[in-house]
């Protein structure tokens, strides 16, 4: 995670990202991967490569937990789930300490007091140049949770993250609610994202974040056998929910972010740091990241630990 001194400037400087993008061409060959932004299917399940990966998993260590379903609105359906939360299902009860034996707890906060963990989901984004320039100019190193399909679509854009010193983690191949998937689908979502990141960027991630935070002990057990530590968050900026695509105004997102800053000022982080959820989703969220990071005057960034390995 990234350690950041919570030094707050009074001056508000607003920078707005508005950048068109034409993807760089590349010679990478993604034959044998799932379709871009498609949930993995038997097309990859039946390959010799995936069969080898599947056979390498000790399925006796994976809880026999029923898959969940989505509502008609596309949200996770919690109907009928036990109030005792036997599977440590984050979507139900924000559970992060597994109940199944042998599983490591999720990482939800930076352990060092007074630290601010910069994390951005859903990249790489074709129009992220201004955003990445801002991070570089301000010596801010973040943890980037990359979607495998985006890495395959934008391989040269993805490489910049490592070049700028950011940590690279997995955010699945096609951004599904993981607890709604079969074991094969879960394994493929994680494996092919690991593979494409290694192929394009040159590192093997040791960390991942479930889309929507949707994880339970079944999913954790599969991820752990791929040497992936589950990283959640304990502060959500709600940048993903800003209008026009969401329901919160820009001012509401600003208020949420400023509330986190105030927590740093009043000593809330004196005993433990935080992991803050933000997004490299689109120009809207990246612009908000630049604006809010400028508001706070976050400085003196120091990378405390590495979560990727060559």
Residue pair 277/11 in contact by the 8 Å Cβ criterion? no
Instruction: Judge whether 166 counts as a catalytic residue.
Output: no
**Alpha carbon distance 53, 61 (integer Å):** 15
Half-sphere exposure of 103 (CA within 13 A, CB side): 25
Angle in degrees, 0-180, between the axes of helices 283-296 and 250-265, rounded to the nearest 10: 30
Single out the catalytic residue among 121, 216, 254, 282.
Answer: 121
Report yes or no: 185 and 44 within 8 Å, Cβ to Cβ.
no
252-281-263 Cα angle (round to 5): 40
Would you say 82 and 92 are in contact if contact means Cβ atoms under 8 Å apart? no
- Three-state DSSP at 287 gives helix
DSSP codes joined into one string, 54-71: HHHS-GGGS--PPPPEE-
Residue pointed to by tokens 């034959």: 31
Catalytic residue among 122, 216, 279, 282: 279
Q: Is 121 a catalytic residue?
A: yes
- Which pair of tokens denotes residue 98? 């597994």
Q: What is the CA radius of gyration of the chain?
A: 19
Catalytic residues: 121, 279
């Amino acid at each position: 995670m990234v350690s950041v001194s919570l030094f707050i400037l009074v001056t508000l400087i607003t920078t707005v990202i508005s950048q068109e993008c034409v993807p760089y061409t590349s010679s990478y060959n993604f034959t044998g991967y799932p379709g871009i932004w498609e949930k993995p299917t038997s097309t990859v399940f039946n390959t010799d490569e995936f069969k080898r990966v599947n056979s390498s998993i000790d399925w006796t260590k994976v809880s026999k937990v029923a898959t969940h379903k989505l509502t008609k609105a596309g949200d996770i359906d919690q109907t009928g789930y036990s109030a005792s939360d036997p599977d440590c299902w984050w979507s139900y009860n924000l559970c992060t300490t597994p109940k199944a034996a042998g599983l490591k707890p999720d990482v939800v906060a930076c352990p060092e007091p007074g630290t601010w963990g910069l994390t951005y989901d859903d990249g790489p984004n074709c129009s992220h140049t201004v955003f990445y320039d801002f991070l570089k100019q301000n010596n801010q190193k973040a943890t980037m949770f990359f979607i495998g399909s985006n890495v395959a679509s934008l391989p040269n854009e993805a490489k910049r993250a490592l070049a700028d010193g950011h940590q690279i983690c997995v955010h699945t191949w096609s951004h599904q609610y993981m607890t709604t998937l079969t074991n094969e689908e879960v394994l493929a979502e994680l494996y092919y994202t690991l593979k494409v990141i290694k192929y394009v960027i040159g590192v093997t991630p040791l960390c991942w974040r479930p889309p929507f935070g949707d994880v339970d002990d079944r999913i954790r057990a599969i991820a752990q056998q791929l040497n992936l530590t589950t990283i959640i968050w304990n502060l959500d900026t709600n940048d993903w929910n800003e209008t026009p695509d969401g329901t919160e105004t820009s001012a509401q997102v600003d208020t949420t972010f400023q509330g986190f800053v105030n927590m740093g000022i009043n000593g809330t982080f004196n005993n433990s740091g935080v992991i803050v959820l933000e997004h490299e989703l689109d120009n809207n969220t990246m612009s908000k990241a630049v604006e809010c990071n400028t508001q706070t005057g976050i400085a003196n960034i120091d990378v405390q630990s590495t979560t990727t390995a060559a």
